[in-house]
Structure 1
Amino acid sequence: MKRWLVLLTIPLVLLDCSNKKKGLLLLPFLGLGDGTAQTTETSKGEGTFTVVGLETTDPSQITAPAETTPTDGATSGDQTSTTSPEPTTTTPETTTTPEPTPAPVVTTPAPTPTTVVNETTVVVVDQTNGGNFNFETNVTVPVTVVVGNESGPVANAPVTVTETTTTGQPNVVGVGTTDSNGSVTIPISVPPTVTTVEISVIGVNPTTGEVVELNGTAPVQQPAAGGSGTVVVAPVVNVDTTNFQPVNGCVQAVDTDCDGIANIYDEFPEDPSLATTARSGRYTIAFEDMFPSAGDADLNDHSTVFTTEMDKTPANKVKVIRGTYTHVAKGAGYNHELRLSLNVPTNATVQVSYVNGTGNPWNGCAAAPKYTANATGDCTGGTLTSAQLKRGVLILPSSDKTLFGSKNAPSAGTTFTINDFVRGVTANITITFEEPVDLNQTKNLVGGHLNYFLAINQKTDGVFRQIYRPGYFTNSAGKDSFLDSKGFPWAIIVPGIFNHPTEGADIRKPSTSGYIFFNAWMNSNGVAHKDWYLHVDQIPAPNRPSYVVRVSDFYVDNGFSAYLIKAVQKNALEVSASLIVIGAALGFLMKKRLGKQQAA
């Protein structure tokens, strides 16, 4: 009976959701890696810009200069008589009224449309870290936009960079404002499926007062030489305009809080201190834990599925970080804790809460062992100083507790079903900085992701070992400290829910790898098969079992969606009935809407 009640409430949820405004998924974060420019190519005509009126006209924005035209007979300036004086004669006195000074005649500028042409130059970016491939899947590049008009550079023009590949809707990935040279460089990081980004520049037509938007695109990837894979490119977009300048002051019809970010891109349109929320989407961070020795490259010793959000100011600084982290694998004998290091010059308030695999509160953090000395705020949060933030904010405590003694890392060929999979503890973390911070000023981001590290219950010289992703630390020889002797990392971040290898299955070996394109991606330094993680060799054969754990099949969100997925597998009759009810409800809504339209 309970099952039927849940299913029958679906139409009510649909009806309620139909009245809610859709939000924008603002996927990846800002942040540059250690790329260096290699070659330059010019591309003309690609990503041609267009002018779009925003249906708002403000006469006070008309700034063309006025001209004064004298009337007939009028003179200007000082005049001196040089004629000889006439003899004086006495005549009756008369009064002469002086002619009034003519008023200036203001010439209203003729309304002239805004025009735009553009030229894009791209620079191929080295995505390796000091010559070593750092195994980052995201595309991380600077996007430079230069805006000019008839008079020269256009300063103070707001520029927004978005991508629509991921969701089909504009996802803001960076904002900035042009400087006195009309230029702005915006660092972005996007998933490897994104090859172009959209650019928006908002200003005003000075002859009409109309607020307009310049729209265009720019490449961030292009085909590699020889046609195998793609290379990452940093675009420099020169936008030349006529009858275009930045808004003089503020037009609240398009920018309610006057923070320089138009309402169409501003997630906080009534708060001038905040502008956008950068949403990462779902990723997985997976670790090998044998550091400093090379591991077995099965990337399942500690695996966590996570999403993060960052609330940003109009100046692209971060005020709030929110994250959700769910432990999904512990294919190791060691125990570990997951932390986040933040190198920032300000204090922050940390809030933390935990739920177990069924979504109920989990109170086991305090009793779990800790592997980071002198840490503050573990399990409880509180106000942390700059030094304490750098030492590490605890995300997930000891892994033997957060996965409840399970591993989710069977051997190849072992039967492993949804009934065997254990969903671990989920941590919900909110970090609010006292002052907004520029995370790019110090190295807090590599590949668009924050500096997560794993602390292990093993010590070297009396200190618990810590494992980081490549890109953060180098040794005395200038080599990355977290690439092993074969150039393989101890940690990697993968888009989506990563189906990690089975226990002991080296992802690099064709005989045991579940990913047929991983080696091509690795050996090409990320040029070939950037989407390697989407191509899973999942079909077992008599002589070849599956070498991946299908976490994506087992990992479902708690609540309604989890019930529905299980219902599809086990309760086909009830689901069919619910779909009939949903169809009837939607049909009723459509009929009612059509009836209103006909009545109108």
Structure 2
Amino acid sequence: MGGSSSGSDTSVNSSGSSSGNNTSTNAGGNYGSSAGSGSSDVASSSNGGSSGGDTSASSGSEADTSVNGGSPAPPAQEITGVITVNDQIGSIPFTYNTVQTIPLNLIVTDKQSKPISGATVIVSDNEGHILFQGISNNLGKVSGSITVETSLGQITLEITAGGESISNVINLINLVGINREIKYEILLPVVAAPVDSDKDGVPDVLDTYPQDPTRSVLIRIPAEGVSTVAYEDLYPSAGDADLNDYVLHIHNEEDLNTAGDVIRLRGTYQHVARGAGYKHTFFLKLPVSVGATYSRKVVREDGKVVTELTTKTVTASDLNQGIQIHEESNKTTSNPNVNPGGVFKPGHIATIEIVFNSPVKKTTLGIYPYDIFIKVANTGKEIHFPGLYKNSNGTDKYLDSNNFPWAILVPGAWKYPYEGLDIRKETQTGYKEFNLWVASNGTSYKDWYKHITNQAKVFPVPDEDSELMGFLLHSVKKNAILVAVLLISAGAIAAYILKRRTLSQV
């Protein structure tokens, strides 16, 4: 259900450092908080610092505020920029989705409403993980998308041009599209160009690949850890809803260019459970119009190589039909990992990289985890995620007669049900909030998978992955820490020339 509201949010922030929420002042105009289309955020600057909570005041003219027993009010503040909000507010069809992809379309202009080319746009989550990074083109436009858990409440949008940075906290509740125009209301100073070794417009300090002009940022999905993908394999018949017939731990990486298009796609897929008698193979299908180079390597849980690194050329047709990632499931794990008393021993890890012949729009690839599917050797059937294919009557091809899926993605190393235990049944489920989440069409109990209500009903998957997978993830975290330290160091130097303004939360 869509909705919108109009108005103006006026946010005041210092030209020095900023932390916490914003300080806002309503002065003279018809200002109020807004979260829908047609609203504007106005950023201002002063010489003080800003931290703490949301503080607002209203006056028919400039606010005359005294502090500390009659001290004079601070000087009038210079407006830094205005963000016009035309976001799409509504809801997405519920297909048991625990993550969502939100399209992003921005325009950055200067004080004369002329487009700014080369402005840096970064979108990050609450923990500072980069969800998107792009550079505005000669029309001032930046387009792309972000992928987040549906339970995430807000993200931060940061725009930097001419050494001036504006930061905007965006509320994700009911948000299905981000459409904003950022207009600077100050004359942007001429600043010394930062080091940009590959001349792609992204400073080395922000460039994941400072020596490669074809790609500038690595986006990891999820930002940390893994996602669990679980399949039921009796399609087209309804399964027993124990969601453990074929289970994997996965994560992906996208290398983007300055326009926000995908240059390379990587994936790591570990087969962790097989609660079925059927045999399955695992595939990835991408609806692209370009060919690519496809590399694949498979190792055991202990690191021993099963399939050496192989690289081959694939056509767009190959990618459209599906490329194989894992061999038959009876060969990729020796332990079912679904029965009470069992010890978790995960199976093979496949790593892949797809280098596209030309850039691909993120929206073309589809929503994470993209179109990954299993083929059941015993039945010849493919099993995909819901939301991708329709029957001739318009119903979802991969929701059964009870409107239940054959495939689901859950954030983290999920403790899935034991063999034969229906996640929907009161006496069998370890997740009583699951049915409440489904009944709400995904609007409530969004993090149901974090709340185990009966430990005796779920397989004790370790919070940390297998030794090898854990090592790989730990290495990612260590690298992230190193990058963070480098960014902090660079930021300390840049603080002398950068002025950050924080807009009010929307």
1:171–1:356 Cα change, 3 Å: same
Show the counterpart of 1:87: none
* SS of structure 2 residue aligned to 1:346: coil
Equivalenced residue count is 411
What fraction of aligned residue pairs are identical, expressed as a percent? Answer: 29
> Once superposed, what is the RMSD of the aligned Cα atoms?
3.0
Mapped to 2, the partners of 1:353 and 1:40 lie a distance apart of 49
Name which one, 1 or 2, has greater alpha-carbon Rg.
Answer: 1
Mapped to 2, the partners of 1:298 and 1:465 lie a distance apart of 19
Work out whether residues 83 and 181 of structure 2, in 8 Å CA contact, stay in contact via their aligned partners in 1.
yes
Show the counterpart of 2:366: 445
1:186–1:561 Cα change, 3 Å: closer
**If each structure's strand is expressed as a fraction of its own residues, which one has the higher value?**
2
Work out whether residues 82 and 185 of structure 2, in 8 Å CA contact, stay in contact via their aligned partners in 1.
no
- Residues 301-324 of structure 1 show CA distances to partners (whole Å, capped at 9, x for unaligned) of 000001111111111222212211
Mapped to 2, the partners of 1:46 and 1:401 lie a distance apart of 61
Which ranges of structure 1 fall in alignment gaps of 5 or more residues?
1-36, 54-111, 205-210, 222-230, 366-378, 540-545, 565-600
Q: Per-residue deviation at 1:242?
A: 2.0
Query: Is 1:197 aligned to residue 155 of structure 2?
Result: yes
1:389–1:159 Cα change, 3 Å: same
* SS of structure 1 residue aligned to 2:438: helix
Q: Per-residue deviation at 1:400?
A: 0.6
Q: Per-residue deviation at 1:44?
A: 4.2
1:349–1:516 Cα change, 3 Å: same
Q: Per-residue deviation at 1:449?
A: 2.1
Mapped to 2, the partners of 1:424 and 1:258 lie a distance apart of 43
1:385–1:139 Cα change, 3 Å: closer
Show the counterpart of 1:95: none
Counterpart of 1:525 (choices 409, 423, 441) is 441
1:550–1:560 Cα change, 3 Å: closer
What is the identity, as a one-letter code, of the residue corresponding to 1:550? Answer: P
Show the counterpart of 1:424: 347
Q: Per-residue deviation at 1:122?
A: 4.3
Q: Per-residue deviation at 1:357?
A: 2.1
- Residues 508-548 of structure 1 show CA distances to partners (whole Å, capped at 9, x for unaligned) of 12221111211111111111011111111244xxxxxx111
Q: Per-residue deviation at 1:502?
A: 0.7
Q: Following superposition of structure 1 onto structure 2, how do residues 453-468 of structure 1 map, counting pairs within 5 Å? A: 453-459=373-379, 464-468=380-384
Which ranges of structure 2 fall in alignment gaps of 5 or more residues?
18-76, 475-506
Work out whether residues 135 and 201 of structure 2, in 8 Å CA contact, stay in contact via their aligned partners in 1.
no
- Residues 420-463 of structure 1 show CA distances to partners (whole Å, capped at 9, x for unaligned) of 2222111111221222222423xx322x322101001134xxxx
- Residues 8-44 of structure 1 show CA distances to partners (whole Å, capped at 9, x for unaligned) of xxxxxxxxxxxxxxxxxxxxxxxxxxxxx72223474
Show the counterpart of 2:210: 269
Show the counterpart of 2:315: 385
Mapped to 2, the partners of 1:258 and 1:487 lie a distance apart of 52
Mapped to 1, the partners of 2:143 and 2:362 lie a distance apart of 15
Q: Following superposition of structure 1 onto structure 2, how do residues 31-180 of structure 1 map, counting pairs within 5 Å? A: 38-42=2-6, 44-45=8-9, 115-120=80-85, 122-128=87-93, 133-165=94-126, 168-177=127-136, 180=139
- Residues 191-212 of structure 1 show CA distances to partners (whole Å, capped at 9, x for unaligned) of 23432222222222xxxxxx22
- Residues 232-283 of structure 1 show CA distances to partners (whole Å, capped at 9, x for unaligned) of 4534444332234698xx9641544332334443212232211111101311
Show the counterpart of 1:102: none
Mapped to 2, the partners of 1:482 and 1:454 lie a distance apart of 13
Work out whether residues 203 and 246 of structure 1, in 8 Å CA contact, stay in contact via their aligned partners in 2.
no
Work out whether residues 50 and 116 of structure 1, in 8 Å CA contact, stay in contact via their aligned partners in 2.
no
Mapped to 2, the partners of 1:439 and 1:559 lie a distance apart of 26
Work out whether residues 136 and 492 of structure 1, in 8 Å CA contact, stay in contact via their aligned partners in 2.
yes
Mapped to 1, the partners of 2:297 and 2:388 lie a distance apart of 28
Show the counterpart of 2:457: 547
Show the counterpart of 2:336: 407
Mapped to 1, the partners of 2:296 and 2:143 lie a distance apart of 35
Work out whether residues 49 and 215 of structure 1, in 8 Å CA contact, stay in contact via their aligned partners in 2.
no
Mapped to 1, the partners of 2:277 and 2:151 lie a distance apart of 36
Work out whether residues 45 and 119 of structure 1, in 8 Å CA contact, stay in contact via their aligned partners in 2.
no
Work out whether residues 256 and 263 of structure 2, in 8 Å CA contact, stay in contact via their aligned partners in 1.
yes
* SS of structure 2 residue aligned to 1:243: coil
Counterpart of 2:468 (choices 526, 544, 558) is 558
Q: TM-score, normalised by structure 1?
A: 0.63
* SS of structure 2 residue aligned to 1:289: coil
1:252–1:159 Cα change, 3 Å: closer
Q: Following superposition of structure 1 onto structure 2, how do residues 358-377 of structure 1 map, counting pairs within 5 Å? A: 358-363=302-307
1:353–1:183 Cα change, 3 Å: closer
Show the counterpart of 1:100: none
Query: Is 1:240 aligned to residue 183 of structure 2?
Result: yes
Mapped to 2, the partners of 1:351 and 1:219 lie a distance apart of 39
What is the identity, as a one-letter code, of the residue corresponding to 1:394? Answer: Q
* SS of structure 1 residue aligned to 2:437: helix
1:561–1:149 Cα change, 3 Å: closer
Q: Per-residue deviation at 1:146?
A: 3.9
Q: Per-residue deviation at 1:554?
A: 7.2
Work out whether residues 144 and 361 of structure 2, in 8 Å CA contact, stay in contact via their aligned partners in 1.
no
Work out whether residues 229 and 409 of structure 2, in 8 Å CA contact, stay in contact via their aligned partners in 1.
yes
1:178–1:515 Cα change, 3 Å: farther
Q: TM-score, normalised by structure 2?
A: 0.74
* SS of structure 2 residue aligned to 1:38: coil
